[in-house]
Structure 1
Amino acid sequence: MGEVIWLPYCGTAPVPGELWSRWNLDPVLLFALTLGIAAFLRWGGADSARRRWFAAAMALLALLFISPFCAITSALFAARVTHHILLTALVAPLLVAACPARIRGGVALWVGLHAVVFWGWHAPPVYGWALSSDAGYWLMQLSLLGSAFALWNAIRIAPLPGAIAALLGTMVQMGLLGALITFAPAPLYAPHLLSTTAWGLTALEDQQLAGLIMWAPGAAVYLGAALLLLSRWFARERVAA
């Protein structure tokens, strides 16, 4: 029954034997990515570093949305969480490095808004809706990426103390959400109740793995960025002294 109801954008949940045949060649998606690349080549400038950051972001987007990784997110909530972390903690800052922009609102505003977006899409009823329609799916993806882009852009232009605080605040909220998911006593996400068995996991084990991924490596990205900025701050203070 669940496999009939839950028809996410990436298709029905695959079994391991068919995974590598599940490439997503949606013409609308391919056109949108091609249009984005063309726009960057036309207006993104000739700076080689920015072109490398943009190429890395496009490669990650291809992994997330075109490769079989897209299909496995229909089966495993752990894969979906990994997808969201890569989108918000790697693709977004790469795009900021390639295409910096002036976005209204201070860093504190975007820390809060991104947290609301991130927690909102991981609320079980909202997540279930996102995996029930293509419109819901793309609203989830674009709002996660857009709020993360705005957050990383605000961090880029904020004073170092504010940027470090924003990164640590984001680390804490992500770690807290990951902990709540990890220690939930029962499966929360209906789309994955019947899709994990083929992968050797119960729905609860898959959910616990997802929470741990969010709690540890997901939060660690923001901690690492905060430590990098902190080292720059100390270096600047030593020079000033």
Structure 2
Amino acid sequence: MKRACLIAGLFVLALVWLGPLLDAWRESFSAHMLAHMGVVAIAAPLLAIGTQLGPTSDASRAFVLALPASLVEFIVVWSWHAPALRALAESSLFVTAIEQTTFLAAGLFLWLACLPRRDPVITGNAAGAFALLLTSIHMTLLGALLALAPRPLYGADEVSCFGIVLSAQHDQELGGVIMLLVGAAVYLAGGVTLLARMLATPPRKTV
């Protein structure tokens, strides 16, 4: 299981980083969003599962790290979607590489901090669930802002993605929808899964 997840995660990374999303279609915001979601919402959890050493009974690690990891993810995601940084990433492959590396690092940090664990006092799973649900909320907010913005925030020219020519406004709207459908949904599913696991944990017996 872990080996398969690790291989799948590496395959997704290769598909995103070596394919046309960050090369031929680098000026398309929707292509950027597909790459972003591929890294943080698909590759990162797969790699986290594939590299996890094993479940732990130590709840303190998740309790201490999960919320800071969610905050780091928030800062990284919202910062790179500021128009100035987005334009910089579009204009330079070097900056794009930095952007993608920080996306992966933040995603791995969050998913590794939140992965299920054997926790007799359930605080670890509770912290992980809260962190993933919090991340889903800010992903939803950003996706909605991008999809509903009355004007394009990232350029004004037409762009091409998958051979389809889109206006800057439609390209941005599509990018916001991708974030809502992929990013927000994946983090929500992860948070709900951990929450269900926590609620299914039998109460601790007291002596």
Contact 2:129/2:195 (CA < 8 Å) preserved in 1?
A: yes
1:118 equivalent among 77, 89, 93 = 77
2: CA distance between counterparts of 1:70 and 1:125? 18
Instruction: Trace 1:27-176 onto structure 2 (pairs within 5 A).
Output: 49-71=1-23, 73-100=25-52, 106-156=65-115, 159-176=124-141
Residue 70 of structure 2 contacts residue 135 of structure 2 at CA under 8 Å; is this kept in 1? Answer: yes
Counterpart secondary structure, 1:189: coil
Task: State the distance in 2 between where 1:223 and 1:238 align.
Answer: 25
TM-score normalised by the chain length of structure 1: 0.71
Deviates most, 192-201 or 137-146? 192-201
Amino acid across the alignment from 1:76: S
- Contact 2:77/2:103 (<8 A) preserved: yes
Query: What per-residue deviation string (whole Å, max 9, x for no partner) do you get for residues 84-141 of structure 1?
Result: 01100111111111223789x6111111111000011111110111121222111100
Is contact 2:158–2:168 with CA below 8 Å preserved after alignment?
A: yes
Secondary structure, counterpart of 2:181 in structure 1: helix
Give the Å deviation of 1:239: 9.6
Task: In structure 2, give the amino acid aligned to 1:82.
Answer: L
2:159 paired with 1:207 = no
> Could you tell me how far apart the structure 2 residues matched to 1:133 and 1:68 are?
15
**TM-score w.r.t. length of structure 2:** 0.82
Aligned in 2, Cα 1:200/1:130: closer, same or farther, shift over 3 Å?
closer
Please give the secondary structure, in 2, of the residue aligned with 1:159.
helix
How far did residue 152 of structure 1 move? 0.7
Q: Helix, strand or coil for the counterpart of 2:202?
A: helix
Q: Indicate the residue corresponding to 1:14 in structure 2.
A: none
Aligned-pair distance for 1:61? 1.3
* Residue type of the alignment partner of 1:110: A
3-state SS in 2 of match to 1:106:
helix
Residue 72 to residue 236, structure 1, CA distance change in 2 (3 Å)? farther
**Equivalent-residue separation in structure 2 for 1:173 and 1:74 (angstroms):** 24
Give the conservation status (yes or no) of the 8 Å contact 2:137–2:184. yes
Measure, in 1, the Cα distance between the counterparts of 2:108 and 2:10.
14
1:110–1:151 Cα contact (<8 Å) kept: yes
For 2:96 and 2:181, the matched residues in 1 are separated by 25
CA distance in 2, matches of 1:72, 1:221: 27
Identity %: 33
